[in-house]
Amino acid sequence: MKQSFIFILLLLAFVHCGKDLSPFGGEPEVNALKTRLKPEWPSPNWKVVSPESVGVSSSKLGLVEEYAFTRTGDETDRKGRRTDALVILRNGKLIYEKYARNFSEDKVHLTWSVSKSILQTMYGIAVKEGLVKLDDPGYYHYEPLSRDEAHKKITIRHLLNMSSGLAGEEGYESGPLKSSVIAMLYTRGRKDMGAFCAGLPLRAEPGTQVYYSSCDTNILSAILKKVYGTEEYDKLPFEKIFKPLGITNVTFERDGSGTYVGSSYLYMTAKDLAKIGYLYLNDGIWNGERLLPEGWIQFTRTPAPGYKSTPYSEDLSQDNYTAHWYANTGVPERGIHEPWPDAPKDTFAGLGHWGQMLYVIPSLDLIIVRFGDDREKAFIKNDFLKLVKESVIR
Amino acid sequence: MKRKISVILSLLFLFILFWAQWNWKHLSSFPSIISSFYSKEYCSCYFVMQLSEDQCHDFARQWVPISEFKLDKENMSITVKGLGRTNTAKYLSKEYGCTLVTD
């Protein structure tokens, strides 16, 4: 009996020996973006053209519109698909724009977690200016992360990859009592979200597991405040991102200590958010000037390395998190397909609560911004992206 | 039989007491969620996104109803009472939107 037990143990050890444990079966496929030959910079705003002139079918776009703007549930109970805005651009030109539920082209909309992807843009700028390095431990710049040796191991890269190891609980409506995101935004953490989050215990060794947490973002925001100093930090997104892109109608809310709530509270118009997408589609270059460092968009599109050792869960299939953005890569070795299998594999996105979406599709030269107020999961991203893809005729 | 029930009830009470003590950090701050969520999200909906009063109530509404609501257009603030706690959110500026201001 004892012998056969040892034999089985040895067999199991041999079976696993040499197996590639990388969830992607090697390096993920992330090809560099092609340089645009003739960019159409939207200064001050997007050029409007007919869909056909850039190879998109108007009638097929009608199906996209029908999907996005048909109410499927009870409006008073906030059910079904509830789109507020949809903007589509091809080859740097506006081909579709529609608003609903009292929104319009000049009204800003809450982007919820798409804010995280713009907080990441702020990091691109800080890295380019040489003020921070991705592998700097957070405590070099931000004292609350020096509370013990375990917290000192958390680097800026870990935080951007949602792999800090901090025990955040990202439940909203599902588990409000113990949700750290709700405590952070509305109760115990609201005065100083970064400090609240840095005080969380660790659930895993930093860098080894991906666990989506708004806390990671707000620690990043607090780090930037220390790096730049309050005065410069207050101007940072406005002067160094929004102004160069010609974005003037924008609101970025802060916590009780004046730190940007990078996890949740950026408000923009749909067409302005598309400009952020266009900056990323053009490898961080705007109007011929490099705003984000070389390699930053590659970093943005590469899945977080922590997936290699993150325990399996159903969420992995919806959650190909990169560096504060999402990618359509999947986790092939674990048999998990891309989150949006009917969209091109190179699609990447900023996504937020209740249906906020910024999609960038380099292979089709498409940018899609969709704002909504979906209180249940009735808007199926893959179905929507499939219709958009099918509208491209050449 | 009666004795059995009272033993079960006492055990249940002890369990709840133990659970409440264990989760006190979460429980004590929980009631504030209703009024702080409503006031902050209504403030941003009305002053930042510039939607109508009705639409903003619909936006900020939760499963637990609120008991008092005050929209102060002059001071650009929203005060809400719910589950016995009162919270106020104030509009600061176009750049920085709304923030919760009560302690």
The upper half-sphere exposure of residue A200, i.e. CA atoms within 13 Å in the direction of its Cβ, equals: 31
* Paired strand residues for A254: A260
Query: How many independent structural domains does chain A possess?
Result: 1
| Cα distance between residue B40 and residue A239, in whole Å | 26
Task: Supply the range of the domain harboring residue A95.
Answer: 28-107+269-393
Q: Please check whether residue A299 lies inside any domain of the structure.
A: yes
Residue A120 lies in a domain: no
* Alpha-carbon gap, residue A36 to B103, rounded angstroms: 52
In this complex, how many residue pairs, one in chain A and one in chain B, have their CB atoms less than 8 Å apart?
73
CATH number assigned to the domain comprising residue A71: 3.40.710.10
Q: How far is A269 from chain B (nearest CA, A)?
A: 10
Strand order in the sheet with B85-93: B68-72, B77-82, B85-93, B97-100
- Is residue A212 domain-resident? no
Shortest CB distance from B94 goes to which of A183, A251, A256?
A251
Q: Is B33 in contact with A186 (Cβ distance < 8 A)?
A: yes
Set of chain B residues whose Cβ sits within 8 Å of the Cβ of A110? 44-45, 48-49
Whether A172 has its CB under 8 Å from any CB of chain B: the answer is no
Is residue A217 a part of any domain in this protein? no
**Amino acid found at A323:** A
**pLDDT classification of A22: cutoffs 50, 70, 90:** very low
Inter-chain touch A255–B26, beta carbons under 8 Å? no
Residue A23: cis peptide before it, omega within 30 degrees of 0: no
Q: Which of A328, A335, A280 is nearest to A303 (CA)?
A: A328
Test the A interface: residue of B88, B92, B100 with most A CBs within 10 Å: B100
Separation CA A153–CA A138 (nearest Å): 8
CA A391 to CA A34: how far, in whole Å? Answer: 23
Residue A236 to residue A240: CA distance in whole angstroms:
6
Say if A358 falls within a structural domain.
yes
Comparing A333 with A19, the larger pLDDT belongs to A333
* Chain A residues within 8 A of B27 when measuring between CB atoms: 177
Q: Which residues of A touch B52 (CB under 8 A)?
A: 102
What is the rounded CA–CA span in Å between residue B24 and residue A385? 45
Least confident among A130-134, A282-286, B27-31:
B27-31
- pLDDT given for residue A72 in this prediction: 86
Burial A249-285 (b: 16+ CB within 10 A, else e): ebbbbbbeeebbbbbbbbbbbbbbbbbbbbbbbbbbb
Give per-residue pLDDT as tens, B56-96: 999 999 989 999 999 999 999 999 999 999 999 999 999 99
Q: What is the pLDDT of residues A60-84, one digit of tens each?
A: 999 999 999 998 888 788 999 999 9
Residues of A in contact with B58 (CB under 8 A): 76, 78
Return the closest-CA partner of residue A208 out of A149, A262, A155: A155
